[in-house]
Structure 1
């Protein structure tokens, strides 16, 4: 015979067993949720100590052009890190979907509401900045991929493999606009740098996406009418990098040829003759990178041959004489930094450094804020 339990004992034991089972189930569920969240979190890829590819001798040239003492380099590095942290906190915003990020470049009315605006050009340069700051920021690779995700999420009109030159990141159906050929070249180049810097990033299939975008860009550039082609900034440095990715592609249709640009640059009044400030600034950035990173003799000769005009142009920027609605004074001042370094004018470079550090970009000047960070990095002696 089994011992008989009274009703009170039976009820107590039943409640005890149910309570124990409840605790076990609760903790099991909690452990499962924690493991699931950890698995879903993006893991920072291990950075590979690589740099932007330079032509032979360019790294030595860059060091000689910006001779800083160890104390100056340390102080400027601290200023660079502080500027980057401020830029990241204030400028890099999370999209509504929570899966991408963008740099605000303006505000635009859509329907009854005002929406934030982003551009492919700024996204591409923001990715470049993220790569340059990889040693300081352990989340830089996550940031770079999220910035790229925003561009991917907003394809261009009739060009699904390219991005709309401007988009409203918080709108599920942002209007599809034409691509920006120059910005697309920057985007491919910046993401190529990112995949070289972090070999483990895998949010997207970059081995397929980058070649596809490269071919789509080359095809699109060939379709541009002459009047549209004339609006594209000089892309000499970018095309030199794109040829490394695929030597079979011809980039003659991506902006002015080297010969044409150098001839125009040598003409008196070049700086005053270009009515589109953004084209002027981005072209100067390309020219400077050709000199600093590629050690291109034609670029170096062009800059040195126009030294007086370059100096006068920078002097005008420093006293706020030159501004443009679509390309701010800070954006222009930052874009000319590589060319200025090639001239080895230390005193003028010091003044430009002070101007970049002391000035604050407008809240809608995401492009200027990002270029400012790039200029500060160059002037601080950062190897890129």
Structure 2
């Protein structure tokens, strides 16, 4: 029971004034250590994270509200604005540097699950449960293009010119953003169960996909590289399978983290096919995580993720927390595989 009560077994730094309900996304500014969270309590919050050596301070900066739960967030590449979308079917742009002004910049017919800013195109892309994806030029009120999807959008990753969209029914739709209005390729996920998250390789040659049954797929775009594709198990305990909720590539070393509904985080090297580090398991799921722009800070949330429904939600034991972890080089740097090639 005492292990269950420990919501911070890794002694990570805990952020003050966390959301009052589960966290749905975490996003660091590309230009600074400003951290934004979105939550099921309808709020978008921002903290200013200051790191001095091994010490971290997180000062709550500001917040604003949507009308309904917020599901996703992303930053503009200049670090001047945050975009957030969710169950009110709209994306709001929050201009943090100009008095906190907010404006609606995108709309859908159903909740917006994923958003990304594409600096190379100066466009915002939004993916919704209305089975469409839309591209938005912020100078215009209407989308510049609406892309029909085969099913509801569940996951999205962009590393220009690569974009991968994961939908219901295990569809993975790959786009070359040099021709953004046509699908480059559509495949069925190599994983047998529902897609939860996707992450483009830093070199844009492929992507990772995580599913609800504790497995990750490593997928290359070039069919000549098919022999390098593989899947591996993670976020499992005994016979229980847990969702892989978040995959993040380290911005410098290009290894990656996975965070799951089992409350655990692991760091991996796909090229040597090994786990570099497993953190201590937390007492609740980890629905989202992210690295800051230089990979020196890893933020993650610990809270109920609703995968077992409202009937399994116990407000007396389900505290919502956001933590900041300082990864050691050994945790996130590739290392040669013992014994050479396998």
TM-score scaled by length of structure 2: 0.31
Q: Could you say which structure has the greater relative contact order, defined with CA pairs below 8 angstroms and 6 or more residues apart?
A: 1
More helix by share: 1
Which is greater in Rg? 1
